[in-house]
Amino acid sequence: MNMRSLSLAALTVLDVSPPEQVRIAALTGYSHVGLRLLPATPDDPNYDMLGDTAMVRETLAALRDTGIRVSDVEIVRLTPDFSLDALQPFLETAARLEAQQVLVAGNDSDLRRSADNLARLAQAGAAYGLTMNLEPMPWTQIRTLRRCPDAD
């Protein structure tokens, strides 16, 4: 039987903790879940999802108990002060959760620098088995794919 993957996006259930998001995904027929490891805005909940925290351990237990897998983690922002070193705990936690993809937003008006940082991030993520997904958003500097360097 060829079962399709269906992932519950983090934003859909952002008001509940990651372990509860995993349980909701399992109860509602999803095969995967997306988890927000870093808050996207100052108003977003911070669930302490970097490193060996109680919340990460509880999330891992929920994943084991339900069989749900992590499709993606979010969100990395490509900003003018982007630091790959600062993201090591994020990448390590994503790998520990066996995530497959990282959602990335372009928040730097220097599009060439954004492209270079995305390439560096992709290379670092590959060492953890992660692929990067650049997500154009209307409120970021990379609003569309056409806005990307060399997109034409």
Query: pLDDT tens-digit profile of 5-48?
Result: 999 999 999 999 999 999 999 999 999 999 999 998 889 999 99
Residue ranges and CATH numbers for the domains of the chain are 7-135 (3.20.20.150)
Please check the confidence at residue 2 and state whether its pLDDT lies above 60. no
The whole-number pLDDT of residue 46 equals 95
Cα distance between residue 88 and residue 3, in whole Å: 33
Token pair listed for 59: 């999330």
pLDDT digits (tens, 9 = 90+) for 79-120: 999 999 999 999 999 999 999 999 998 888 888 999 899 999
Q: Is the model more confident about 137 or about 13?
A: 13
- Asked whether the whole model's pTM tops 0.85, one would answer yes
Please measure the distance between the N-terminal and C-terminal CA atoms of the chain and give it in whole angstroms: 40
